[in-house]
Amino acid sequence: MDSHTLAVNGGPAVRDRPWPRWPQAAPGAAKALEEVLESGRWAISGPYRGTESQERRFARAFADYHGVPHCVPAASGTASLMLALEACGVGAGDEVIVPALSWVASASTVLGVNAVPVFCDVDPDTLCLDPAAAEALVTGRTKAVVVVHLYSAVADLDALTALARRHGLPLIEDCAQAHGAEYRGRKVGTLGTAGTFSMQHSKVLTSGEGGAVITADAALARRVEHLRADGRVLAAHPPAPGAMELVETGELMGSNRCLSEFQAALLTEQLPELDGQNETRRRNAALLDRLLAEAGCRPQSTSPGTTRRTYYTYAAALPEDALGTLGSGPACRALTAELGFPVSPGYPPLPANRLYDPAGRPRFALDEEYRRRTAPDAAGLPVARESARRTATLHHAALLGDEGDMHDIAAAFTKVLRHSADLPG
């Protein structure tokens, strides 16, 4: 078959070279992990050994990076969101406005504190929470707004912080996909009441699993500390070696959602690499934006207040004539075959996501009213539905290469779009 035949149909692929791998270990990562291994302390719940914990070191470094006084590390991004919600006073039966376009944790974490996720449509350009749509959903039951900085965009934080102030609501920034992004010169996660992060394997700052909550509010940070360590907090002063550093205050019951010392040590080493990697991604994404726009795609944009963008997932809307009745799925499969790198459709609207199924877990069957209020309903979310139909995404590892890699991506898009009539269903 000639070079015009799609690889998914047996033709030659655009590319047969390897892509940058992810994760990429920082130079000091192996030594830091070995030090923890030999330290005799693998968790903050282990005995104090006379030296500062890795968890405290990372918390201080991550807080300093964001210019805030408080960071509480946690076991995952999911744990971080649940901790922030509960620390903000969200509980049984309360409503939390969340974007309809996001990973399932944006909804499942709300269920996890026995509250009700209220799905809000997104802005058609940024694909982040639409402030006007969110305002229309505020009721007397609303207790918080969660904004997700999605894919590679920063939400309109001017409008969303103003909305939160008008209604006296906490605004939680979910920054799981936006480590290092800035809005009007401030790091995301610092403009709302709290910022939450995921350090899961695929994230731009990773320790395999992990998370964190940052805030300028000392009382909120103390509540998060209690909630993540079974109602305990780290002592104000180091104890004697062999004693516990976690203090049982009796102030607030919690659960165990702590980060291990291995993960904290790894994150401390990875953090200095973040800005340089983000700059490489930004430079390559700018080129890719231009190339894909020439091919007829519409790359995701960010809000006007964004002063520094990060790329967790590069997202672009495919032209209508390449979609047919099946949406972006066939084109994404063809692009994957051309590049040897996964190209995936965007997230489905959360209420239509097969992973959102409260009825499948007995713990959420509180009563008939709660089951009714949390049942999936994707009606009234036209922008989220259209985005799910048209979007193609690439993981940020593809942006860690060079200009030649961006031209390969563009060549694959151009080939697939020119021969979209040949796409298998």
Q: Where are the domains of the chain?
A: 29-273, 274-419
What is the chain's mean pLDDT, rounded?
A: 96
State mean pLDDT over 23-34: 98
Task: Report how far residue 414's alpha carbon sits from residue 177's, in angstroms, rounded to the nearest whole number.
Answer: 27
* Closest listed residue to residue 311, CA positions, set 250, 398, 410: 398
Q: Outline where 113-260 has alpha helix (H).
A: 131-137, 157-167, 218-228
DSSP 395: E
State mean pLDDT over 204-230: 98
State mean pLDDT over 29-36: 98
CATH of domain 274-419: 3.90.1150.10
Question: How would residue 74 be classed by pLDDT, with cut points 50, 70 and 90?
Answer: very high
Instruction: For residue 322, give Cα distances in angstroms to 11, 262, 385, 412, 420.
Output: 19, 46, 17, 14, 5
State mean pLDDT over 259-273: 98
Residue 1 clears pLDDT 70, i.e. is over it: no
Task: Report how far residue 399's alpha carbon sits from residue 412's, in angstroms, rounded to the nearest whole number.
Answer: 15
Task: Report how far residue 73's alpha carbon sits from residue 78's, in angstroms, rounded to the nearest whole number.
Answer: 12
- Burial (CB count within 10 angstroms: exposed 0-12, middle 13-18, buried 19+), residue 273: middle
Task: Report yes or no: 118 and 142 within 8 Å, Cβ to Cβ.
Answer: yes
- Residue 326 pLDDT: 83
* Closest listed residue to residue 258, CA positions, set 34, 59, 24: 59
- Residue 2 pLDDT: 59
Catalytic residue (one of 143, 187, 203, 415): 203
Task: Report yes or no: 254 and 248 within 8 Å, Cβ to Cβ.
Answer: no
**321, two tokens:** 């004539």
Q: Lowest mean pLDDT of 65-79, 102-116, 157-171, 315-329, name the range.
A: 315-329
DSSP 47: B
- Residue 342 pLDDT: 98
Fold observed for domain 29-273:
Aspartate Aminotransferase; domain 2 (3.40.640)
Question: How would residue 411 be classed by pLDDT, with cut points 50, 70 and 90?
Answer: very high
203 is catalytic: yes
